[in-house]
């Protein structure tokens, strides 16, 4: 057999996932600056957040979340019985007491609850990376606990290189995908739907996708059946599928 050209294995990484915590209960122990960032991330993901911290240790942002009933709050220190709730999906600690943090970690392990102990990478089932958010677009940079500040620097550099309207373009692609499922709902259409949507994303510019309106989407979807992708200009000119075709290059060849 010939030499296989497969990717090499690079051990030591983390499996980066988008953890869906919508309507799931998450326990945050601590109320300082680090806890504030964790809580915001959780609320952005529509989690049900419970905060345990003496009121004297609350940072202004956490106090604001509590005052506006954005989180459930218990004005006290953590107690082992807090982990008895079977609905707890994960536990995040952000307290200065390293001994207490390690004890919480051990209790979580006993109960098989995923936990993140701030600033103690060996006692983390998962890490929080530095996240760039633009509407539906989320980009996370992780250093596997080695350098949170470096993750922030890299994330800012990536974000600065992105077009300002990319979030809006992604929203409209999401709407187009939903409309396409209405046009071709059959399960066997799945591969064709994916391939056609990929061609739209590749052949249309980001600016075109951002400018696209619902009337353009409806007109574009008429080209799905013949498996063609017109330009935005052709869509707006009202050209019917069959009057043009893509010739495989970066330009368009018209057929009369």
Q: Which of the residues are catalytic? A: 119
| CB distance 81 to 106 below 8 Å | no
Local structure of 53: helix, strand or coil: coil
Separation CA 164–CA 243 (nearest Å): 35
Local structure of 178: helix, strand or coil: helix
| CB distance 184 to 224 below 8 Å | yes
Mutual angle of helices 166-183 and 190-203, in 10-degree steps: 150
Backbone angles phi, psi at 205, to 5 degrees: -75, 165
Q: In sequence order, what are the residues at sequence separation of 6 or more whose Cβ sits closer than 8 angstroms to the Cβ of residue 60?
A: none
Biggest CA pair distance of the chain: 78
Tokens 């993140």 — which residue? Answer: 116
Separation CA 78–CA 30 (nearest Å): 9
């Amino acid at each position: 057999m010939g030499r296989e050209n497969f990717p090499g294995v690079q051990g030591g990484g983390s499996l980066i996932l988008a953890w869906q915590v919508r309507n799931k209960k998450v326990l945050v122990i601590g109320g300082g600056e680090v806890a504030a960032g964790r809580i915001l991330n959780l609320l952005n993901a529509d989690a049900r957040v419970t905060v345990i911290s003496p009121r004297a240790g609350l940072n202004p942002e956490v106090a604001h979340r509590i005052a506006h009933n954005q989180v459930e709050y218990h004005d006290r220190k953590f107690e082992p019985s807090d982990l008895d709730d079977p609905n707890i999906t994960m536990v995040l600690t952000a307290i200065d007491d390293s001994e207490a943090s390690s004890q919480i970690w051990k209790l979580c392990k006993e109960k098989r609850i995923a936990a993140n102990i701030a600033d103690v990478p060996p006692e983390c089932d998962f890490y929080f990376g530095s996240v760039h958010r633009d509407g539906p677009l989320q980009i996370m940079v992780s250093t596997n606990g080695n350098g949170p500040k470096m993750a922030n620097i890299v994330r800012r550099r990536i974000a600065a290189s992105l077009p300002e309207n990319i979030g809006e373009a992604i929203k409209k692609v999401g709407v187009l995908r939903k409309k396409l499922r209405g046009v071709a709902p059959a399960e066997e259409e799945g591969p064709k739907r994916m391939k056609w949507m990929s061609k739209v994303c590749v052949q249309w510019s980001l600016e075109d996708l951002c400018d696209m309106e619902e009337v353009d989407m409806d007109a574009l979807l008429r080209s799905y059946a013949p498996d063609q992708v017109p330009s935005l200009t052709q869509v707006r000119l009202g050209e019917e599928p069959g009057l043009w075709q893509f010739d495989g290059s970066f330009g368009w060849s018209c057929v009369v």
